[in-house]
Amino acid sequence: MSVFIIITLIVLVFIIIYQIGKASEYALILRGEEKVRAQTNRAIAILLLVMFVLGMWGIWECNEMFKGQMLPVAACKTGENYDMMFNVTTLVTGIVFFLTQFILFWFCFKFQSNDKRTAFYFPHNNKLEIIWTTIPAIAMAILVAIGLRNWFDVTSVAPAEATVVEIVGKQFNWIIRYPGKDNELGKRDFRKINDANNILGLDWNDPHNNDDVVLQNGELHCVVGKPVKLLINSRDVIHDVGLPHFRLKMDAVPGITTTLWFIPSITTDSMKIITKNPNFVYEIACDQLCGKGHYSMRGTVIVHTQADYDKWMATQQAYAIGNNPAAAPAAPAVQPAADSSHAKVDSAKIVKAN
Ligand SMILES: [Cu+2]
């Protein structure tokens, strides 16, 4: 029924437009073509000015509407730089946009067709061409240079003290591997991948693998103020480690290890205070459409203080235990101490690096 009404409405609108067209044609003949043309011309000139004002008002309104839905402050220094770059780019292009649109619509109004005026013939001007090519080229080059500097920041060689963590995407979750006490990740081989007892294909001939901790719940734990280097990989298709709160993302490509490093500057608990949201979590979003479960491929980053991190790490068990046939038999797992400090929002202290 509603489909029928919609179709009828569309047909009616077309008939109305057609009839208006017909009516103005007759009016043209009755009132004299020139007079009607001059009137229409004036009306269009005024409407263009109205359109400019309405357009600008619309942009303002959209901005107001989404103001509260922006991401909170960036949680690392590189993120702050990216925000700065975004703001500068928006400001520069915004000013140019406003000026050019204003001139465009104002000129349409100001120089509307007039019998007492003939158009000025102005086919070419070298000086003008040079000015409006050079200035935007320089502005763009500067913006690109700032972007490259930020890009080199996150993809350059990480500081030696950085914690190296491996993050592997698979349909449809993130697997995260920590190097354990020896501070070194063991070798992997995709041919050894086995969903039952070797989800990352750890090579048990490499002793470095025996203390590696593997998390399948997508939790990336790191320490505030301490560099983290991510070794990013995929087990199947291309995924993408998206860290919106850190303004970072990097593709996870099967067969190629991509890297990214950053220094988290705000702990998860502090961010809960800053955002006034006791349920706040740093999100890992898969930024690459990777299959039908893509929407569910969500991980979390937990930024601890060093003490909290050590406490958490002490509760973790090496993946080799129970999975590597040659490894020592399972030691009694350390029971996590009743620890409510992560859930509790302590408004007295915001832990922030630098
Ligand atoms: Cu994915």
Domain boundaries, the chain: 32-112+126-154, 159-314
Preceding omega of 172 cis (within 30 degrees of 0): yes
pTM over 0.85: no
User: What pLDDT digit, counting tens, does each position of 108-152 carry?
Assistant: 898 888 878 888 888 889 999 999 899 999 989 998 999 999 899
Burial class (CB in 10 A: 0-12, 13-18, 19+), 82: buried
| Spacing, Cα 21 to ligand 1 middle (Å) | 53
Phi, psi of 80 (to 5 degrees): -65, -40
Whole-number Cα distances in Å, 125 to 100, 101, 121, 131, 306: 19, 22, 12, 10, 65
What's the gap in Å between 261 CA and the centre of ligand 1? 20
Tens-digit pLDDT profile for residues 49-86? 999 999 999 999 998 998 878 888 988 988 999 999 99
Cα gap 63→51, rounded to integer Å? 18
**Distance from residue 99's CA to the centre of ligand 1 (Å):** 42
Encode pLDDT of 144-177 as tens digits: 999 999 899 888 888 888 889 999 999 889 999 9
- Provide DSSP, 25-85: HHHHHHH-HHHHHHHHHHHHHHHHHHHHHHHHHHHHHHHHHHGGGS--S-SBHHHHHHHHH
Which CATH architecture is the domain 159-314 placed in? Sandwich (2.60)
Of 234, 295, 300, 303, which is closest to residue 270 (Cα–Cα)?
303
Mean pLDDT of 32-40: 78
| 244 CA to centre of ligand 1 in angstroms | 15
CA of 293 to the centre of ligand 1 (A): 8
CA of 173 to the centre of ligand 1 (A): 7
